Chain A
Amino acid sequence: MSRAQAQDAVPPELRVRPVEAADLGQVIAIDTETTGIEKTDYWYELFHRYGGGRTRQRLFLVAESGSVIQGFIIGEVRDWEFGSAPCGWVFGLSVRASARLAGVGARLLDAICDGFRHAGVNKVRTLLARDNSLVLSFFRSQGMMAAPFIPLEKDLN
């Protein structure tokens, strides 16, 4: 199978659903595989705030194939930041390395966008390091364009 075909070949049994506490071990493993840093406390805290479908404004979803979590996505509706109308923000997305190029990320993004629409917003945004070409390319391939914002930072001495 070519890469192009593989990108369209979503596993038929793939299911996207809200994260559950029992998924956290696999979520942490996927994140550790991607970032090289195990952040157990962080993920439990995130689950506490975003997991279990507590509100329509906060979404923490996983893509499951059989009993294997293949990836996850996290986001929330943010209101009126610097005058910006409420919009959906995706601030976490990762897919197990062995499951990439199979449409898992696209399914997760579609699902969280459906959730944002359900929450009443019609725009989705994200923020990435500019050297993260892999994930930037993914979001670009899903039709995302540069937003009318400029990220800024400074060292705090």
Chain B
Amino acid sequence: MKLQKSTTLALFSVLEFAANPGRQLAAAEIAEKYGASTHHLAKVLRELGRAGLVESARGVGGGYRFSGNARRLTLMDVIELFEDISTRTGESDEFDQSSDVGRALGAVMAEVDEIAKATFRSITVDTMLKLIERQRRAAGNAQTASQG
């Protein structure tokens, strides 16, 4: 399953904001970090704002901050703001359904998609933040070990 660029930008943004709940982050900061245009990111942030997941902060520096519930918000909730993958079956356009081979390949792709959707539905932003922290610690430990 391939996600659109806007969707991946939205996931990056939500996780950046949720990791720093008390801090205002400028859109330009996130755009630079993830190699996106500020124009594209602004459109993504507007959509996240309409959904109540981020709010723009006025005042010096401006920026955005997280306003969702990290323990309840799943990756699927964010993804579905930008594209409808819940009805994607893998049997749609990727393979020609008029042949036996196309239908069989479509069935395999549907299996892959179902697992991907279940994974996105089961992982909350809070769980992702814990995973990010574990990865950070593991990378730190590996670095320490290689230096030692």
| Chain A residues within CB distance 8 Å of chain B | 3-4, 7, 130-131, 133, 136-137, 140-141, 143, 146
Contacts and interface: CB of A to CB of B under 8 A. Distances in A.
Contact of B118 (A7, A136, A141): A136
B116 to A, nearest CB: 10
Chain B at the A interface: SS class: helix
Given A3-B69, A4-B71, A143 B122 contact: no
Contacts of A146: 119
Given A3-B69, A4-B71, A137-B74, A143 B134 contact: yes
Contacts of B119: 146
A141 B121 CA distance: 12
Interface of B: 69-72, 74, 114-115, 118-119, 121-124, 126-127, 130-131, 134
Contacts of A141: 124, 126-127, 130
Contacts of B69: 3-4
A133, A140, A143, A146 — most chain B CB neighbours (10 Å): A140
Among the interface residues B71, B74, B118, B122, which one has the most CB atoms of the partner chain A within 10 A? B122
Nearest to B76: A133
Given A130-B114, A143-B130, A3 B72 contact: yes
B123 A140 contact: yes
B118 A140 contact: no
A90 to B, nearest CB: 16
